[in-house]
């Protein structure tokens, strides 16, 4: 990557949002921040205890293992088995990461040459396109069907021929769309046919409601031949600040990533891996109350929006609502109207690419009463909800 490459990447929209937030706070305004997707809940007690024990353990003070601490690997393998019925080799098919965001970037950087194509959903978590640009590769955006599924067959054959990687994210941030195992099977077959590495970003694997259980792409028979999947403790366990995640799947891809990472750093800090070990070991007891709280918040905000005349649908997964910008506003105009008026911070849809224009994202990262207030403020400024074509 050259300095020129870095300079050519447009500013991160979240930076701009942050600057506005700081300006308002400096002026003494109190804000209801539902912009960023950073969980407000506490780190689970059992995780804190594990970190405290680790901090005092002399045996763990050296450099961590390059791929994964055996205890972390064992906890992850058990979790994948009990939760998804998926079996991975703890040594060859698994690697601990300091968060899935940098893991995704490193996967892209270690699997592309300048000029290669990376297939990115048209509404996307920003690192997918930005890491592609940092690699000197070219993001080609895959159209989304109205239900949020990727229309991979609509990508130009010349682009598919140059593609090395296909990224998918279900349940999706920000659209909240999810897909079935059959849909995954179609994507696996597409990746296999075109010799692509399929990267599944499963950041919201556990945040689902109303009996819906999120599937893993690795449940598709043969997926280990083409796919890797990223899981993170950030959302499901309220551990975004701990920075612990993992990638599992196709062993050649894991080896390639390991080769890249071992040249620029060591493994993930042992403290974070022990925190992750405790989280995955106790997932069955930690996650239900966290999900119950998000469901309560989702229902409160949906009810408040509906009461104000916005006929929104309740998402069945993630911690977001993905809503059309009301008529008469553009993306930043709506963000500013909410921040300057009632002091509500939301994320403009263009943070997730051009195809996100005309939408905004609300995160369920405030208690239900504040979310209700934020929703009421929105509908009182704009009594008629917008309508957008994109999912
Ligand atoms: C879709 C998606 N992937 C990855 C991440 C990053 O997660 P982590 O904290 O593991 O880096 C996020 C965070 O918002 C996300 O929404």
**One fold for 3-42+285-381 and 46-284:** no
Question: Residue with the nearest Cα to atom 5 of ligand 1?
Answer: 101
CATH of 46-284, one of 3.50.50.60, 3.40.640.10, 3.30.300.180, 3.40.50.300: 3.40.640.10
CATH of domain 3-42+285-381: 3.90.1150.10
Q: Given this model, what pLDDT does residue 4 score?
A: 67
pLDDT < 50 regions, the chain: 390-391
- The predicted structure's pLDDT at residue 391: 47
**Residue nearest (by alpha carbon) to ligand 1 atom 3:** 203
Q: Is 295 exposed, middle or buried (0-12, 13-18, 19+ CB in 10 A)?
A: middle
**Residue closest by Cα to atom 15 of ligand 1:** 203
Contacts of residue 239, Cβ cutoff 8 Å, sequence gap at least 6: 43, 47, 233, 275, 276, 279
Distance in Å, CA 194 to ligand 1 centroid: 27
Give distance in angstroms: CA of 265 to centre of ligand 1.
21
- Per-residue pLDDT tens digits for 333-366: 999 999 999 999 999 999 999 999 999 999 999 9
Q: CA torsion sign, 179 to 183 to 188 to 192?
A: negative
| Total count of residues recorded for the chain | 391
- Digit-coded pLDDT (tens) for 75-132: 999 999 999 999 999 999 999 999 999 999 999 999 999 999 999 999 999 999 999 9
At residue 147, the pLDDT reads 93
How far apart are the C-alpha atoms of 160 and 21, rounded to whole Å? 41
Instruction: State which ligand 1 atom lies nearest to the alpha carbon of 172.
Output: 1
Q: CA dihedral defined by 273, 275, 213, 89, rounded to 10 degrees?
A: 30
Ligand 1 contacts (CB < 6 A) are: 37, 99-101, 125, 169, 173, 201, 203, 232, 234, 240, 245
User: Ligand 1 centre from 57 Cα, in Å?
Assistant: 30
Ranges of each domain in the chain? 3-42+285-381, 46-284
Average pLDDT, rounded, for the chain:
95
């Amino acid at each position: 990557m050259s300095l020129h490459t870095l300079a050519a990447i447009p500013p991160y929209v979240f930076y701009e949002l942050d600057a506005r937030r700081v300006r308002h706070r400096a002026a003494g305004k109190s804000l209801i921040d539902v912009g960023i997707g950073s969980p407000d809940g506490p780190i689970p007690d059992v995780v804190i205890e594990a970190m405290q024990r680790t901090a005092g353990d002399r045996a763990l003070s050296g450099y961590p293992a390059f791929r994964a601490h055996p205890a972390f690997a064992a906890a992850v393998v058990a979790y994948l088995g009990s939760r998804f019925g998926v079996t991975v080799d703890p040594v060859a098919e698994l690697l601990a990461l300091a968060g899935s965001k940098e893991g995704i970037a490193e996967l892209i950087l270690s699997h592309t040459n300048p000029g290669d194509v990376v297939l990115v959903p048209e509404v996307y978590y920003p690192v997918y396109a930005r890491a592609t640009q940092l690699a000197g590769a070219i993001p080609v955006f895959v159209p989304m069907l109205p239900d949020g599924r990727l229309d991979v067959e609509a990508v130009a054959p010349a682009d598919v021929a140059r593609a090395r990687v296909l990224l998918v994210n279900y349940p999706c941030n920000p659209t909240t769309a999810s897909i079935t195992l059959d849909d995954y099977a179609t994507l696996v077959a597409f990746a296999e046919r075109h010799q692509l590495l399929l990267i599944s970003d499963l950041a919201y694997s556990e945040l689902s409601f109303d009996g819906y259980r999120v599937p893993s792409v690795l449940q598709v028979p043969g997926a280990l031949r083409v796919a890797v999947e990223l899981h993170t403790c950030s959302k499901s366990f309220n551990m975004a600040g701990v920075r612990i995640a993992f990638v599992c799947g196709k062993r050649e891809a894991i080896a390639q990533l390991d080769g890249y990472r071992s040249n620029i750093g060591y493994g993930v800090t042992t403290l974070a891996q022990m925190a992750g070990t405790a989280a995955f070991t106790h997932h069955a007891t930690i996650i239900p109350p966290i999900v119950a709280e998000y469901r309560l918040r989702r229902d409160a905000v949906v009810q408040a929006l509906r009461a104000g005349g916005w006929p929104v649908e309740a998402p069945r997964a993630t911690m977001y609502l993905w809503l059309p910008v009301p008529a008469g506003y553009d993306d930043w105009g709506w963000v500013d109207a909410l921040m300057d008026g009632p002091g509500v911070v939301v994320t403009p849809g263009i943070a997730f690419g051009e195809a996100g224009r005309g939408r905004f994202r609300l995160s369920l990262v405030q208690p239900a009463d504040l979310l209700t207030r934020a929703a009421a403020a929105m509908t009182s400024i704009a009594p008629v909800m917008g309508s957008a074509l994109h999912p």
